């Protein structure tokens, strides 16, 4: 199934990154890290107005928080007081808050006890930096003096590091704070409405939440798209396009509503300054306006990111629909073309008579006319594919081969029709020539007219003209073809051609006799000539003319084509295999003699680059070992199969271990290429290349072994196609073995790129599989938020499956010296296969499977790129787990210490423990606990008395697990332990 291409994957990732930035910026704008509360959370406490942030500022810009007259201030719960003060201190910008807050406590109508309580609360719970505390003391005479005395006595009790100034009147207050920064209640002219302030704050925070929620909706949309696969048929693609378009329109509506909400809020805040000409927004209102502007900018960024992505995504969906239409039409046209080819192949190009050949020509003509509509449709469809390619369609690599295939099939059909027409036309000429063969000329010559001198000379002229042209006639082609292809002609055709040749000889003999007779008649007319009817069948036999001229026409070529199809293709492929092997050995020899040996040539030592010193084995790897094997062993064994291609499979199987040398060579190849880039342009290699008269440099020849090991499996495949009997089983096994070697080579190339693994990879057993996957993790002991995040975002991991361990690595592309990117794999973590379980199917995605560890304490959900890849991995992991169980069983079955009462029961424990961990049916935690209890009993030193209890515990398990466990318990009973 075709997934998103890399460019569009980047587009989805770019959308997610930009939206994530928007979410982060919204949190920064609203200072969510220092503002744990929202206005709506404490709306009731804010409405009580025991504290307010009016928007005034001190002389240095310090924000002012006012504690106005409040009769019930002492009754405000401590939590409510702390929430309101914390919220108010988090609203000003960080720069303003860092200056420190000025607190004005208005207690003019109150008592000293209220002043004291207020100062104590502020000293004990104020969350921000304080710059100055201004207290409007009680105005009544008695309370005023008490306040003076109290502040002196209790000043140290308040534990404030800032000055506490007791003010007698508003005029004193104005000496510290300008009137323009104070509300009317404090003798200033700053306009402030507490209910309106609350309304603005809740509106701003609601808008911020809307912006964040909208961005998160787009984030989810992008994530869903990242996991969406393009459908394989037209209708599903149409449905997907419609669904995504509807979702886009809905999200677009949400964006419009959010923009409208923000614009309205911005207008409400800004319109305050328009109430009067001299009114100006206070700093807090200015910050509110700035906050809304910044939120609108983030919303605009969200919309721009979404539209930029949607334009690409919508184009991709439309192109996908175009591709599905193209593929559907291609399949229909291809079926029609294949039917035409089959019909054409069913028409023979050889006939045994004129009528038969004429009928075949007519059928061929009818088929050609019938095919024109299909051929035109195929050409138009290929032209449509060209247009898709020119329009920068994302699936160029899928479309172009189909266009090439359509044109190829059309050309093959036309060429085959032309070839068959040519062969049949020539065949018709031959048959017509055989039928005529000069007899009509002999029969048309009136014998009575030949009795005169003029008549005889005229007939003689006709005969001589025919004899002269007979050498150039099509009939001689038949004789030439018979002489040239007599060995390969089928018996039916040979008999037919021999009859025609016999008939031709008879006709020629009659012409010669007539020629002699007419010459005598024209020379001397002595007596009347009696008319005699020609009888070709009475003519004596004579040998055919051997030295007739050869004709180089298309007839010969066509007959070659017809008869060469019966040659043994196995022999051809075997010949090619041997010849290419000889050439390969010669090339290896030239490298060994012209480069490898020359590194020890003292005459060239002054040309050798310093970077090559003592690094011959790095540059050439184990090439000498490869050369020795092919030169002394493998080439000779292949040559021994020259006359018996059916033995080539056995030849490969016999040398499987020796062919493993290519794995070591390929592992060294990256190091060799790096060294070559450092020293390849040196005079030493130029001189060696010049001596060898090689057109290509050494690095091209060092690539030959990599190319050769892949070439073998291709030639074995070709031999399998042509083989139909002896040796086919060995060929199939040899092909499978070569493919396994190539896979091992490929896997080892990846394995050597693993970095950060502290253990020894060679101790992990054989590398069975490797590949890239999306991986989600789910750990029982993890933090809930971490677990949610792990489920939400997949990790890109490259997995290496060994006999004993499963490695998780992160693939990195590294550029070396400005050359192509080479992958490396950073080791992340590993799982011991002895503690691994597997769940083959994961709900919601057929390409996912689970690998879990230690009884599902760690669960890894793995998404394969295709179903085939998933099935191969699941099968291989199951083989490893099954092998471990068989090893456990074998270890206990073949031991000679069965006298111990617990041995086979412990075997039951080992096997059943893996069943309870791996069975898909044991997912309920309670069931798992019961199962563990059973196996713990199996390991108890007092196993015999408890065996009945163990069986009872087993009977309570689900039926699927119950059957498995009873089977293993029966094994224990049979061994005499229970």
Q: What is the mean pLDDT of residues 653-675?
A: 90
* Rounded distance between C-alpha atoms, residue 348 and residue 421, angstroms: 11
Q: Residue 755: in which H helix or E strand, if any? A: strand 754-755
Task: Quick: pLDDT tens for 417-474.
Answer: 888 888 787 777 766 655 554 444 444 454 445 556 666 667 777 766 666 665 445 4
When comparing pLDDT for 278 and 938, which is higher? 278
pLDDT of residue 940: 47
For residues 359 and 459, the model is more confident at: 359
Res. 522 pLDDT band, cuts 50 70 90: low
pLDDT number for residue 651 = 93
Q: Which pLDDT belongs to residue 27?
A: 74
Question: Among 760-769, 824-833, 934-943, where is mean pLDDT lowest?
Answer: 934-943
Task: Report whether 282 contacts 91 (CB < 8 A).
Answer: no
Distances in Å between the Cα of 473 and the Cα atoms of 423, 427, 443, 479, 688 are 17, 14, 20, 11, 61
Residue by residue, DSSP assigns 409-465 as HHHHHHHHHHHHHHHHHHHHHHHHHHHHTTHHHHHHS-TTGGGSHHHHHHHHHHHHH
Q: Residue 481 and residue 433: Cα distance in Å, rounded?
A: 15
What would the mean pLDDT of 908-936 be, rounded to a whole number?
A: 50
pLDDT in tens, 805-820: 999 999 887 665 555 5
Q: What's 825's DSSP letter?
A: E
Q: Which carries the bigger pLDDT value, residue 87 or residue 459? A: 87
Q: How far apart are CA 247 and CA 3, in angstroms?
A: 20
Q: At 813, is the secondary structure helix, strand, or coil? A: strand
Residue 914: pLDDT over 60: no
d(CA 840, CA 237): 28
Q: Average the pLDDT over 677-683 and give the result.
A: 90
pLDDT at 352: 66
Question: Is pLDDT above 60 for 894?
Answer: no
CA angle 234-238-241, nearest 5°? 135
Question: Strand 858-863 to strand 821-832: parallel, antiparallel, or no bridges (unpaired)?
Answer: unpaired
pLDDT over 50 (residue 950): no
Q: Please tell me the predicted confidence (pLDDT) of residue 623.
A: 95
Tens-digit pLDDT profile for residues 166-178: 888 888 889 899 9
Q: What are phi and psi of 839, to 5 degrees?
A: -120, 120
Of 85-99, 153-167, 300-314, 950-964, which range is least confident?
950-964
Paired with 67 in beta bridges are 105
pLDDT at 6 over 50: no
* Residue 802 pLDDT: 92
Residues 6+ apart with CB under 8 A from 63: 53, 56, 57, 92, 96, 97, 99, 101, 102, 283, 284
- Of 104, 27, 105, nearest in space to 62 by CA: 104
Selection from 204-208, 429-433, 513-517 with the highest mean pLDDT: 204-208
For residues 126 and 666, which has the higher predicted lDDT (pLDDT)? 666
Do 610 and 684 touch, CB atoms closer than 8 A? no
Rg (CA), the chain: 48
Distance CA 384, CA 844 (A): 37
Of 48-62, 112-126, 836-850, least confident by mean pLDDT is 112-126
Task: Tell me the average pLDDT of the chain.
Answer: 76
What pLDDT score does 276 carry? 57
| Mean pLDDT to the nearest integer, 241-248 | 86
Tokens representing residue 151 in the block: 């502040």
What is the DSSP secondary-structure string of 196-218?
HHHHHHHHHHHHHHHHHHHHHHH
Res. 972: pLDDT tops 50: no
CA distance 947 to 949: 5
Compute the CA torsion angle 939, 940, 946, 952 (nearest 10 deg).
Answer: -40
Instruction: Quote the pLDDT of residue 792.
Output: 64
pLDDT number for residue 201: 85
870's CB contacts (< 8 A; 6+ apart) are: 846, 847, 848, 849, 864
CA distances from 475 to 65, 480, 482, 549 (A): 121, 9, 11, 12
* Range with the poorest average pLDDT among 659-663, 675-679, 757-761, 783-787: 783-787
User: 144: pLDDT confidence band, cut at 50, 70 and 90?
Assistant: low
Distance CA(838)–CA(856), nearest Å, equals: 10
Between 134 and 455, the higher pLDDT residue: 134
Which pTM value belongs to this model?
A: 0.39
Please give the pLDDT value at position 848. 93
Task: Kindly state the average pLDDT of the residues 934-943.
Answer: 49
Give me the mean pLDDT over the 936-955 stretch: 45
pLDDT of 569 reads: 67
3-state SS of 224-244? HHHCCCCCCCHHHHHHHHHHH
Which range among 272-276, 622-626, 721-725, 881-885 shows the weakest confidence by mean pLDDT? 272-276
Burial 828-864 (b: 16+ CB within 10 A, else e): eebbebeebbbbeebeeeebbbbbbbebbebbbbbbb
Strand (E) or helix (H) holding 866? none
Show the tokens assigned to 349. 């190009």
DSSP element (H, E) containing 768:
strand 767-779
Alpha-carbon span 233 to 86, nearest angstrom: 59
Question: Which residues share a beta bridge with 130?
Answer: 101
Task: Say if strands 858-863 and 767-779 run parallel, antiparallel, or are unpaired.
Answer: antiparallel
- What's the pLDDT tens digit per position in 318-352? 888 888 888 888 889 889 999 988 888 888 777 66
Q: Is the pLDDT higher at 48 or at 968? A: 48
Two structure tokens written together for 598: 């020359």
Could you give the percent of the chain with pLDDT greater than 70? 69
More confident residue, 426 or 511: 426
Region 541-554: mean pLDDT is 37
H or E element at residue 821: strand 821-832
**In the predicted structure, residue 549 carries a pLDDT above the cut 80:** no
pLDDT band at 317 (very low <50, low <70, confident <90, very high): confident
- The better pLDDT of the pair 36, 235 is held by 235
CB 809 within 8 A of CB 800: yes
pLDDT band, very low/low/confident/very high, at 4 (cuts 50, 70, 90): very low
Q: What is the pLDDT of residue 573?
A: 87
Lowest mean pLDDT among 110-114, 402-406, 438-442, 544-548: 544-548
Show the CA angle centred on residue 874, arms to residues 869 and 876, nearest 5°.
Answer: 95
- Contact 292/266 with Cβ under 8 angstroms? yes
Hey, how many other C-beta atoms are within 10 angstroms of the C-beta on 682? 16
pLDDT at site 518: 66
493 or 594: whose pLDDT is higher? Answer: 594
Least-confidence region, from 64-68, 148-152, 750-754: 148-152
What is the per-residue pLDDT for 121? 79
Q: How far apart are CA 829 and CA 858, in angstroms?
A: 12
User: What strand order describes the sheet that includes 795-802?
Assistant: 754-755, 821-832, 805-815, 795-802, 767-779, 858-863, 848-853, 836-839
What is the average per-residue pLDDT within 70-89? 84
Least confident of 75-84, 213-222, 387-396: 213-222
Length of the chain: 978
What helix, strand, coil percent values describe the chain, rounded to 5? Answer: 65, 10, 25
C-alpha–C-alpha distance, residues 549 and 472, integer Å = 8
In this structure, of 111-120, 299-308, 337-346, 614-623, the range with the lowest mean pLDDT score is 111-120
């Amino acid at each position: 199934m075709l997934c998103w291409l890399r460019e569009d994957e980047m587009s989805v990732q770019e959308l997610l990154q930009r939206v994530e930035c928007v979410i982060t910026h919204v949190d920064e704008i609203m200072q969510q890290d220092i503002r744990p509360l929202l206005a709506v959370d404490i709306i009731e406490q804010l409405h009580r107005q025991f504290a307010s942030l009016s928007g005034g500022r001190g002389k240095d810009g310090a924000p002012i928080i006012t504690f106005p007259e409040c009769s019930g201030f002492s009754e405000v719960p401590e939590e409510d007081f702390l929430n309101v003060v914390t919220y108010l201190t988090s609203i000003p910008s960080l720069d303003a808050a860092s200056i420190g807050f000025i607190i004005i406590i208005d207690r003019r109508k109150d008592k000293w006890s209220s002043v004291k309580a207020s100062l104590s609360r502020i000293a004990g719970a104020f969350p921000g930096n304080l710059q100055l505390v201004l207290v409007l003391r009680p105005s009544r005479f008695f309370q005023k003096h008490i306040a003076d005395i109290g502040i002196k006595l209790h000043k140290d009790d308040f534990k404030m590091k800032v000055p506490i100034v007791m003010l007698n009147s508003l005029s004193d207050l104005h000496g510290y704070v300008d009137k323009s920064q104070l509300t009317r209640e404090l003798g200033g002219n700053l306009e402030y409405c507490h209910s309106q302030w609350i309304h603005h704050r809740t509106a701003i925070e609601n808008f911020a939440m809307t912006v964040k929620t909208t961005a998160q909706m787009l984030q989810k949309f992008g994530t869903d798209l990242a996991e969406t696969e393009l459908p394989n048929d037209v209708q599903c693609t149409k449905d997907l396009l419609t669904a995504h378009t509807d979702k886009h329109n809905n999200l677009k509506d949400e964006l419009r509503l959010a923009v409208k909400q923000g614009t309205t809020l911005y207008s409400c805040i800004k319109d305050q300054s328009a109430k009067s000409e001299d009114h100006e927004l206070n700093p807090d209102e200015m910050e509110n306006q700035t906050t809304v502007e910044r939120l609108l900018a983030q919303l605009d960024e969200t919309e721009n990111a979404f539209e930029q992505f949607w334009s690409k995504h919508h184009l991709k969906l439309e192109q996908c629909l175009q591709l599905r239409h193209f593929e559907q039409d291609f399949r229909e046209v291809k079926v029609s073309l294949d039917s035409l080819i089959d019909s054409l192949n069913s028409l023979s190009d050889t006939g045994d008579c004129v009528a038969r050949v004429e009928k075949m020509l007519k059928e061929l003509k009818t088929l050609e006319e019938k095919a024109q509509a299909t051929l035109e449709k195929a050409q138009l469809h290929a032209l449509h594919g060209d247009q898709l390619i020119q329009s920068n369609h994302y699936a160029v690599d899928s479309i172009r081969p189909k266009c090439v295939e359509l044109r190829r099939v059309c050309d093959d059909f036309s060429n085959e029709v032309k070839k068959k027409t040519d062969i049949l036309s020539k065949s018709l000429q031959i048959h017509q020539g055989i039928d005529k063969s000069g007899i009509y000329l002999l029969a048309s010559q009136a014998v009575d007219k030949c009795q005169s001198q003029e008549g005889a000379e005229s007939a003689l002229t006709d005969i001589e003209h025919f004899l002269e042209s007979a050498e150039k006639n099509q009939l001689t082609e038949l004789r030439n073809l018979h002489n040239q292809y007599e060995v390969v002609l089928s018996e039916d055709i040979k008999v037919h051609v021999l009859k025609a040749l016999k008939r031709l000889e008879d006709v020629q003999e009659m012409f010669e006799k007539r020629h002699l007779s007419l010459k005598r008649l024209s020379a001397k007319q002595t007596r009347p000539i009696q008319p005699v009817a020609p009888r070709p069948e009475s003519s004596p036999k004579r040998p055919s003319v051997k030295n007739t001229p050869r004709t180089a026409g298309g007839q010969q070529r066509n007959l070659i084509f017809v008869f060469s199809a019966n040659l043994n293709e196995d022999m051809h492929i075997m010949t090619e295999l041997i010849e290419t092997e000889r050439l390969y050995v010669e090339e290896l020899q030239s490298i060994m003699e012209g480069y490898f040996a020359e590194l020890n040539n003292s005459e060239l030592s002054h040309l050798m680059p310093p970077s090559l010193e003592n690094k011959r084995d790095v540059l050439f790897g184990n090439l000498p070992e490869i050369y020795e094997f092919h030169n002394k062993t493998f080439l000779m064994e292949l040559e021994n199969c020259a006359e018996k291609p059916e033995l080539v499979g056995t030849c490969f199987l016999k040398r499987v271990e020796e062919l493993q040398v290519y794995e070591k060579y390929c592992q060294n190849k990256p190091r060799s290429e790096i060294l070559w880039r450092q020293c390849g342009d040196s005079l030493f290699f130029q001189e060696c290349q010049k001596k060898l008269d090689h057109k290509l440099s050494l690095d091209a020849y060092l690539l030959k072994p990599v190319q050769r090991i892949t070439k073998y499996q291709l030639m074995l495949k070709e031999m399998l196609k042509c083989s139909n009997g002896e040796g086919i089983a060995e060929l199939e096994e040899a092909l499978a073995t070569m493919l396994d070697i190539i896979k091992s080579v490929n896997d080892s190339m990846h394995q050597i790129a693993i970095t950060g693994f502290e253990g020894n990879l060679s101790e992990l057993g054989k590398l069975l599989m490797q590949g890239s996957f999306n991986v989600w993790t789910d750990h029982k002991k993890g933090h809930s938020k971490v677990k949610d995040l792990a489920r939400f975002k997949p990790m890109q991991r490259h997995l290496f499956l060994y006999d004993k361990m499963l490695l998780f690595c992160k693939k990195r592309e590294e550029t070396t010296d400005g050359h192509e990117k080479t992958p490396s794999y950073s080791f992340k973590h590993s799982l011991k296969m002895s503690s691994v379980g597997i769940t083959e199917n994961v709900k919601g995605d057929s390409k996912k499977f689970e690998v879990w560890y230690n009884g599902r304490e760690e669960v890894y959900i793995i998404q394969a790129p295709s179903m085939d890849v998933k099935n191969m991995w699941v099968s291989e992991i199951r083989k490893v787990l099954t092998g471990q169980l068989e090893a456990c069983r074998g270890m206990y079955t073949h031991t000679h210490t069965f006298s111990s009462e617990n041995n086979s029961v412990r075997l039951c424990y080992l096997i059943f423990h893996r069943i309870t961990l791996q069975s898909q049916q044991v997912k309920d935690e309670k069931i798992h606990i019961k199962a563990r209890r059973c196996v713990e009993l199996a390991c108890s030193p007092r196993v015999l008395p408890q065996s009945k209890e163990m069986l009872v515990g087993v009977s309570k398990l689900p039926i699927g697990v119950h059957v498995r466990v009873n089977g293993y318990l029966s094994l224990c009973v049979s061994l005499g332990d229970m």
